[in-house]
Amino acid sequence: MIKLNPKLSQKFSYLILFLATALAIMPIMAIIFIIVKNGISVVNWEFLTSMPKNGMREGGIFPAIVGTFAIVMSTIMLTLPTGVCAAIYLNEYARDNMLTRAIKLGIVNLAGIPSVVYGLFGFGIFVMFLKLGVSIIAGALTLSIMELPVIITTSRNALNSVPYSFREASWSLGVSRWQTIRHIVLPNALPGIMTGAVLSIARISGETAPILFTAVAFYVPHLPHSMFDQVMTLPYHLYIISTQIPNMPNSIIFGTALVLLVMILTMSFIAIFVRIYFRKHRKW
Amino acid sequence: MRRIIDTIIEKVIFSCGTLSVIFVILIFSFLFMESFAFFKDFDITKFVTGRYWYPDSEPALFGILSLIVGSFLVTLGACLIAVPVSIMTALYISEVVSKSVRDVLKSLVELMAAIPSVVIGFIGMIVLVPCVRKLFNVPTGLTAFSGSVMLAFMAMPTMVTISEDAIHSVPWQYKEGALALGATKWQTMRRIVLKTARPGIMAAIMLGIGRVVGETMTVMMITGNSSRIPHSIFEPVRTMTAVIAAEMGETVKGSMHYKALFSIGLVLFLITFLINFVADLFLGKNKNK
Amino acid sequence: MVDKIKVDNLSCYYNRKCVLESLNINVIQNEILSIIGPSNSGKTTFLRALNRMNDLDLTYSRRGEVYLDGGSIFDISMEDLRRRIGMLFAMPTPLPMTIYENIVYAPKRLGLISKKSEQDALVERALKDASLWDEVKDRLKSSAMKMSGGQQQRLCIARILAINPEVILFDEPCSGLDPISTVKVEESMIGLKQKYTIVLVTNNVKQASRVSDRTVFFFMGKIVEIGTTDKLFVSPKEKQTEDYITGRFG
C-alpha cells in the first residue's frame, strides 16, 4: 500500500468532506429552485383567493390556505401553553426523582412516535371515542400532542439559558418561586420560546399524516364555519392533486407547492433571524 | 390571596408536566387494546410472519412480513446514503470551516428539516422517479430505491445536527494534544474527534433512523405501494406507515381490518420506542463524560 | 443588647457530609458581625442557612434551630423570611432591567407599593441610602447591566433596602471590586448599621477590622473564636486565630 503524504491526504480528505457537505445541502437548494421555477407563473392574487374549479384542475387554493391557517392556529394555541408549562415544571420545579425521569423518557418517546401513528390515535380517540368527528378540533388536538415534545424541549432550553443568579437574586428579595418565574425567567426566555413556537408552526403547517383521518377532506365546497368542520389543507391538497387526480396540470401542483414552501420558509427564516438577533442583543 | 393563586398555578404547571407521560401511556394502551382484540381473532405469528396482506380477500389475510421488509429495505437504503454523508458533513461543518460559515451551513441543513414530506414526495415523483426508471432500466421508477434516496435527504438534517453537536463538544484539549504531537488536523479528526464523539454520532444515527421508519407521505408517494416481498431494491415496496395512511380511511370501525391497522401502529410504536430509547442511552453516555 | 438572631446547635450537611458542626452564635441588634476564615470553612453555607437559600439545594440537609426575634425561621414561609433577612451576593446580581425597575421589582411583587409617586420616592430613598443616588439619578431608565461592578453592587444594596428588611447578609460583597468601590460599599455598610442588623462574610481580614463590631473566626466548619473586633484583632485567645489574622495561613 502506498503511504500518502499526510498533508496531501489531508487536502484530499477535505475535498471529500466538502463534497459530502455539498451533497447534504444540494437537495434543499434544488427543491427550492425547481418549485420556484415551475410554480411562480401560476401564483397570483386570484390563485390565492379563489376556490378550486373543475375538479381542482383550475381555480385557486383559497380554502386550503384558510384550512391550514385554522388548524395551525388551533394547534399552537393548544400546545404552546401546555408545552411551556411542562417546560417550566421540568426546568424550575422538578426534583431528580422517578417521576421526572419518567417524564423525560415520555418526552423522548413522544417525539419519536411516527406521525401516522398519531393519526391513528387521534382518529381512534378524538374522532371516534370523543365523537368530535373529522374536524379542525380533532386534527388540532392530534397535532398538538405530536408537537408537545418539540415545544417542551425548545422552551426548556430557553428557560435553561436564563442565568441561575437571576433566580437567586429574586428569591433572596422574598419573591416567591412562581413570581420569579413569571417576572424574571419567562420574560428573558421569551425570545427562545417564541423562536421554538414559530419553528413549530412551520412544521405543523407541512404535516399531513396526522390529519389524514382526523381533519381533512378531499374537497370542501365552502370555508369552515366552526371548529367542527372538515377542512382542506395545503399539504393534503398537494398530495391529492399530485397523486389522485388524473390529467392534473403540473403548473397548479407546482403553484400549490410553492405557496406551501414560501409559507414554511418564511417562518423558518423569521425564527432564524429572531434567534440571531437576540443572541447578539442579549441583556446579560 | 397571592399565595393561593401561586399554589393554583403551580398545580397547573405540575399537571402539564406530567402530560407527556400520560399521552405516551394513553397512546400505547389505545394501540394495545385494539391490537389485543385483533390478536384474539388472528394468530399473532401469522400476523408477523405472513407474506400476504390481502385485507379484502376471503378469508382476509393480514400478514405484515412484506410490509416489514419494505420498511426495512427503504430504511436500510436511506441509512447507507445518509449516514456517511451526514458524518462527513458534520465533520466539515464543525472542524474545517470558520464559525460564520458554520452557522450558515448549519442553518441550511436545518432548513431541509422544515420542508414538508409531501413536497419532498412530490419532487421525488417529478424528478427522481423518471430518472430511476431510465437510469436503471426498470419498468417503474416507483421503487424502494427512490424512497431511500428521498428519505436519506430527510434524515440528514437530524443526523448532521446531532452529530455536529457531538463533534463540536469534543474538548479542545484532546485535539490540541494530538496536534502538538505533530498529527495533521485530518489525522486528529479521524483518530481522536470521531472516536470521542462516537456516542453522540450513534444517537444521531438512531434518531435519523427513527425519522425514516416513521415517514409516511413521501414513501406512500414514491415507493410504488406493492405489498409483495421484493427481490431487489429496484422493485416497488410498501411500508407499514404507507399501509396505515392509505387504508385507514376505507375501513369500518371495529372491523378486523381496522384493528389490524392499529396492530401495525403498535408495531411501529414499539420499533420507534426502542430506537429512541437506545438513542437516549447514547446521548446520556455522551453527557456523563 | 437584644439578640436579633440566635443560632442554636446548627449543623449543615451537603450529601450527608458535615460542613458546619454544632454552631451556637447570636447576632445582636444593630451590630455588624463579621465572619472571617479561610475558604471552605463554611462561612457562606452559614450565611445562606440564615435566610434558607440552601434549602433549594436538594443535597442539603441541616439539624438545629435558628431563631429570628425569638421565633424559629423554619416556622415562617421562605418568602416572608427573606423579606425580613435580605442578602447581598459575592458577585453583583442586577436583574436584566432598568435601574429603576430593579429597585421597585421586589416591592411591587410583594405588594408593598402601588402608586407611581410612592415608587419614585422609594427609588430615591433606597438609592440615597446606598449612596448611589448622585451617580445614577439622571439615568434611572437605563439598563442596570451597563453599570460598573461597584455601582451594580450598591444597586443590589439599594434593592435590598427597598424591601426594608431587618437583617442584611453580605456574602463577600467586595470580592470582585476594586479598592475605591470597596471603600464606597463599606461606607454604605457602616451607614446602614443605624437601621439594620448586618452579618458580613469576608475573605478580607482588614475589611472585618474596619467595619465590624464583633468578629467570628471560622475554621473547618467550626467556630474557633468569637469576640469584639478590637479584642479579637489585638489579643486573640487562640493561636489559630492569631496565625490567620497575621497572615500566617489561609
- Chosen for mutation from A164, A168, A173, A175 (greatest number of chain C CBs closer than 10 Å) is A173
CA dihedral C200, C203, C206, C211 (to 10 degrees): -10
* B40 vs B28: CA distance, rounded Å: 18
User: What's the pLDDT score for residue A218?
Assistant: 87
User: What's the pLDDT score for residue A15?
Assistant: 92
State the count of interchain CB pairs (< 8 A) between A and B: 254
Share of chain C above pLDDT 90, in %: 59
Q: Looking at CA atoms only, how far is residue A265 from chain B in angstroms?
A: 7
Q: Cβ(C54)–Cβ(C62) under 8 Å?
A: yes
Q: Looking at CA atoms only, how far is residue B52 from chain A in angstroms?
A: 22
**And the C-alpha cell for C89?**
451576593
Q: pLDDT digits over A164-187, tens only?
A: 999 999 999 999 999 999 999 999
Q: pLDDT digits over A181-237, tens only?
A: 999 999 999 999 999 999 999 999 999 999 999 999 888 888 889 999 999 999 999
* A132 vs A138: CA distance, rounded Å: 6
8 Å CB contact of C51 and A165: no
Chains that touch A (3 or more CB pairs under 8 A): B, C
Determine contact: C109 vs chain A, CB below 8 A: yes
Q: pLDDT digits over A224-281, tens only?
A: 899 999 999 999 999 999 998 888 888 999 999 999 999 999 999 898 888 888 888 7
> Considering chain A, what is the average pLDDT of its residues?
91
8 Å CB contact of B244 and A116: yes
In the numeric block, the cell 388548524 is attached to A71
Number of C-beta neighbours around residue C121 at 10 A? 12
**And the C-alpha cell for A95?**
426534583
8 Å CB contact of A121 and B30: yes
* B240 vs B265: CA distance, rounded Å: 8
Q: Which CATH homologous superfamily contains domain B67-288?
A: MetI-like (1.10.3720.10)
Find chain A residues with C-beta within 8 A of C111's C-beta.
none
Residue B214 has pLDDT above 60, yes or no: yes
> Considering chain B, what is the average pLDDT of its residues?
90
Q: Cβ(C131)–Cβ(C191) under 8 Å?
A: yes
Q: Locate the domains of chain B by residue range.
A: 2-49, 67-288
Residue A284 has its nearest CB partner, among C82, C145, C156, at C145
- pLDDT class for B286, splitting at 50, 70, 90? low
Find chain B residues with C-beta within 8 A of A266's C-beta.
none
Which CATH architecture best describes the domain A66-280? Orthogonal Bundle (1.10)
Determine contact: A173 vs chain C, CB below 8 A: yes
Lowest mean pLDDT among A180-194, C8-22, C149-163, C173-187: C173-187
User: What's the whole-model pTM score?
Assistant: 0.90
In the numeric block, the cell 399537571 is attached to B15
The C-alpha angle with vertex A121 and arms to A119 and A122, in degrees rounded to 5, equals: 65
**CA closest to A253 among chain B residues:** B122
Q: pLDDT digits over C193-234, tens only?
A: 889 999 999 988 889 999 999 999 999 989 999 999 999 988
User: pLDDT: is B173 or A117 the higher one?
Assistant: A117
Q: Looking at CA atoms only, how far is residue A165 from chain C in angstroms?
A: 7
The H or E element that residue C224 is part of is strand C222-228
DSSP state of C17: E
Q: Cβ(B105)–Cβ(A25) under 8 Å?
A: yes
Q: Cβ(B261)–Cβ(B251) under 8 Å?
A: yes
Residues 204-243, chain C: which have Cβ within 8 Å of A? none
Determine contact: A126 vs chain B, CB below 8 A: no
Find chain C residues with C-beta within 8 A of A173's C-beta.
82-83, 86, 105-106, 109, 159-160, 163
- pLDDT class for C150, splitting at 50, 70, 90? confident
User: What's the pLDDT score for residue B71?
Assistant: 94
- pLDDT class for A1, splitting at 50, 70, 90? very low
8 Å CB contact of B123 and A7: no
Chains that touch C (3 or more CB pairs under 8 A): A
Residue B160 has its nearest CB partner, among A7, A18, A24, at A24
DSSP state of C74: T
Residue B183 has pLDDT above 50, yes or no: yes
8 Å CB contact of A176 and C79: yes
Q: Looking at CA atoms only, how far is residue A171 from chain C in angstroms?
A: 7
**CA closest to C48 among chain A residues:** A172
Q: pLDDT digits over C85-142, tens only?
A: 999 998 899 999 999 999 999 999 988 888 899 999 999 999 998 888 999 999 999 9
Determine contact: B161 vs chain A, CB below 8 A: no
8 Å CB contact of B13 and A239: no
What mean pLDDT do residues A7-25 have?
90
- pLDDT class for C40, splitting at 50, 70, 90? confident
Tell me, what's the ipTM?
Answer: 0.91
**CA closest to A168 among chain C residues:** C53
CA dihedral B62, B65, B71, B75 (to 10 degrees): 170
Which residue intervals of chain B are DSSP H helices?
Answer: 2-41, 44-49, 65-91, 99-114, 117-123, 129-136, 144-168, 172-180, 185-188, 194-196, 198-214, 217-222, 240-247, 256-288
User: What's the pLDDT score for residue C250?
Assistant: 64
Residue B269 has its nearest CB partner, among A113, A149, A257, at A113
Determine contact: C81 vs chain A, CB below 8 A: yes
In the numeric block, the cell 413536497 is attached to B119
Residue A48 has pLDDT above 70, yes or no: yes
* C75 vs C64: CA distance, rounded Å: 13
Find chain C residues with C-beta within 8 A of A174's C-beta.
79-84, 106, 110, 163
Share of chain A above pLDDT 90, in %: 72
1.10.3720.10, 1.10.10.10, 3.40.50.620, 3.40.50.300: CATH of C3-245: 3.40.50.300
**CA closest to A87 among chain B residues:** B17
DSSP state of C235: S
Q: pLDDT digits over C44-61, tens only?
A: 999 999 999 988 788 899
Residue A52 has pLDDT above 80, yes or no: yes
Find chain A residues with C-beta within 8 A of B109's C-beta.
24-25, 28
Q: Looking at CA atoms only, how far is residue C58 from chain A in angstroms?
A: 8
Find chain A residues with C-beta within 8 A of B269's C-beta.
113-114, 117
User: What's the pLDDT score for residue C140?
Assistant: 93
Q: Locate the domains of chain A by residue range.
A: 66-280
User: What's the pLDDT score for residue A232?
Assistant: 94
**CA closest to A170 among chain C residues:** C106
